[in-house]
Amino acid sequence: MWRLRECSLNDEQLGIAVGLSGNAIRNRRTKPDLWKLSDVERLAIHFTLPATACIQLQKVLHELPDNLKNLSPEERRRIERQLLFKKTQLESYNKSDWPVRYLLKMNQALLNNK
């Protein structure tokens, strides 16, 4: 995200470069919670930064609902409580896109439950 501050492109130009509208870029600059995981990946690619973490995170997030299905109901509920998300919510965000704020929320919940 620090590359955004150094970027010489205006919002319209950056939007075109990463596949978003200029208005979406403006909104996300003022409200960073609106960034989505796919946006971060496209930004990394645009700024020639490694996108490996985004790709790996997408893979793990897409596998998570299936992994939860294979657990006992008690264990699944325990993990859902830890993550602060139910399996259906995970599936829903996997179909649309993961807002970064929810990934941060999940990360914080896991750190607090250690």
pLDDT mean values, one per 10 residues, the chain (114 residues): 79 92 92 92 92 95 94 94 92 95 92 83
Nearest to 106 by CA among 74, 78, 75, 82: 82
The identity of residue 35, as a single letter, is: W
What is the DSSP secondary-structure string of 61-101?
HHHHHHHHHTS-HHHHHHHHHHHT--HHHHHHHHHS--BHH
pLDDT value of residue 78: 92
20, 6 in Cβ contact below 8 A?
no
Give the per-residue pLDDT at 91.
95
**CB of 24 closer than 8 Å to CB of 18:** no
Predicted pLDDT of residue 6:
80
pLDDT of amino acid 36: 95
Q: What is the pLDDT of residue 113?
A: 80
What is the structure's pLDDT at 80?
A: 93
> C-alpha distances in angstroms, 74 versus 69, 81, 113?
11, 11, 17
Q: What is the pLDDT of residue 2?
A: 67
